[in-house]
Structure 1
Amino acid sequence: MKYFIQCFCCLLVAMYSAVPLLKAQAKAEPNILIIYVDDLGYGDLSCYGGDIPTPQIDRIAEQGIRFTEFYVSAPACTPSRFSVLTGAYPQRSRHGLTNALMPVDTNYLDDAEMTLAKYAKAYNYRTGIFGKWHLGFKNKSDSPEQHGFDKFSGLKGGCIDFFTHVYGQMGHDWFVNSVQTRERGYSTELITNHTLSFIDDCRKVNQPFFTFLSYNAPHYGKTDPDSVVAHTVSLSEGEYHGYGIINSLQAPPKYIEKFAEIEDPYRQAYAAMVSCLDDNIGRLLDHLEQSGMMEHTIIWFISDNGGYSIRYFGHADNGGLRGEKGTIYEGGIKVPSLLQWKGYLDAGQVREGPVCNIDVLPTLLNLTGMRLNRNNTPKIDGVDLTNFLLENEQISRPLFWYYNQQMAIRDGKWKLVNGEELFNMDQDPFESKNLASDHPKVKQRLSIKYEQMAEELDIMLR
Structure 2
Amino acid sequence: MKRNLKSNSRLLLLCCLILISISAKSQINNNPNIILIYTDDLGYGDISSYGGEIPTPYIDDLAKNGLKFTNAYATAATCTPSRYAMLTGEYAWRKKGTGVAPGDATSLILPGRTTLPGVLQQAGYNTAAIGKWHLGLGDKSPINWNKEIKPGPLEIGFNYAYLLPATGDRVPTVFVENHRVVNLDPEDPISVSYRENINDKPTGSKNPEQLKMMYSHGHNQSITNGISRIGYMSGGENALWRDEDIADKLVKKSVEFIEENRDSPFFLYLSTHDIHVPRVPHERFEGVTGKGARGDVIVQLDYTVGAIQKKLQELKLEENTMIIFTSDNGPVLDDGYVDGAAERLGTHNPFGKFRGGKYSTFEAGTRVPLIVQWKGKIAANQTSTALLSQVDFLRSFAAATGQKLLKTRAIDSQNQWQALLGNDVSGRKSLVQQAIRNVLSYVEGDYKYIEPHSGPVMVPWGVDIETGFNKEPQLYNLKQDPGETKNLAAEMPKKTKEMEQNLKKIRDSKELSSHK
Aligned partner of 1:442: which letter? K
CA distance in 1, matches of 2:267, 2:428: 29
Greater shift, 46-55 or 320-329, is seen at 320-329
Paired residue secondary structure (1:194): helix
Structure with more of its chain in strand, by fraction: 1
Greater shift, 75-84 or 304-313, is seen at 304-313
Q: In the alignment, does 2:441 pair up with 1:408?
A: yes
CA distance in 1, matches of 2:302, 2:251: 11
CA distance in 1, matches of 2:84, 2:59: 24
Q: 1:25 to 1:66 in 2, by over 3 A?
A: farther
Q: 1:291 aligns with which of 315, 338, 345?
A: 315
Q: 1:331 to 1:310 in 2, by over 3 A?
A: farther
CA distance in 1, matches of 2:301, 2:488: 40
Q: 1:379 to 1:60 in 2, by over 3 A?
A: same
Q: In the alignment, does 2:497 pair up with 1:444?
A: yes
Query: Which residue is equivalent to 2:274?
Result: 217
Query: Which residue is equivalent to 1:382?
Result: 414
Q: TM-score if structure 1 supplies the norm length? A: 0.79
Q: 1:270 to 1:402 in 2, by over 3 A?
A: closer
CA distance in 1, matches of 2:425, 2:128: 32
- Residues 84, 361 of structure 1: 8 Å contact kept: yes
| Structure 1 unaligned regions, length at least 5 | 1-23, 162-166, 222-248
What per-residue deviation string (whole Å, max 9, x for no partner) do you get for residues 113-162 of structure 1?
111111111122111010011111324432210111111112111x126x
- Residues 386, 419 of structure 2: 8 Å contact kept: no
Aligned partner of 1:411: which letter? E
What per-residue deviation string (whole Å, max 9, x for no partner) do you get for residues 306-350 of structure 1?
010576664671114100101121010100110011100100000
Identity between Structure 1 and Structure 2 (%)? 29
Q: In the alignment, does 2:345 pair up with 1:319?
A: no
- The correspondence of residues 145-164 of structure 1 with structure 2, limited to 5 A, is 145-157=154-166, 159-160=167-168
Aligned partner of 1:329: which letter? F
Query: Which residue is equivalent to 2:286?
Result: 256
Aligned partner of 2:100: which letter? A
Aligned partner of 2:159: which letter? D
Larger Rg: 2
CA distance in 1, matches of 2:120, 2:420: 23
- Residues 475, 489 of structure 2: 8 Å contact kept: yes
- Residues 358, 383 of structure 1: 8 Å contact kept: no
CA RMSD of aligned residues (A): 2.4
Q: 1:192 aligns with which of 246, 251, 258?
A: 251
Q: In the alignment, does 2:324 pair up with 1:300?
A: yes
Q: 1:455 to 1:375 in 2, by over 3 A?
A: closer
CA distance in 2, matches of 1:32, 1:278: 19
Paired residue secondary structure (1:250): coil
Query: Which residue is equivalent to 2:11?
Result: none
CA distance in 2, matches of 1:25, 1:453: 35
CA distance in 1, matches of 2:31, 2:490: 53
Query: Which residue is equivalent to 1:231?
Result: none
Q: 1:347 aligns with which of 351, 361, 380?
A: 380
Number of aligned residues: 390
Paired residue secondary structure (1:254): coil
Paired residue secondary structure (1:334): coil
Q: Which runs of 4+ in 1 moved over 6 A?
A: none
CA distance in 1, matches of 2:429, 2:296: 39
Structure with more of its chain in helix, by fraction: 1
Query: Which residue is equivalent to 2:297?
Result: 273
Query: Which residue is equivalent to 2:132?
Result: 132
- Residues 274, 281 of structure 2: 8 Å contact kept: no
CA distance in 1, matches of 2:422, 2:409: 29
Q: 1:86 aligns with which of 85, 88, 97?
A: 88
CA distance in 1, matches of 2:69, 2:410: 26
Paired residue secondary structure (1:300): strand
Query: Which residue is equivalent to 1:16?
Result: none
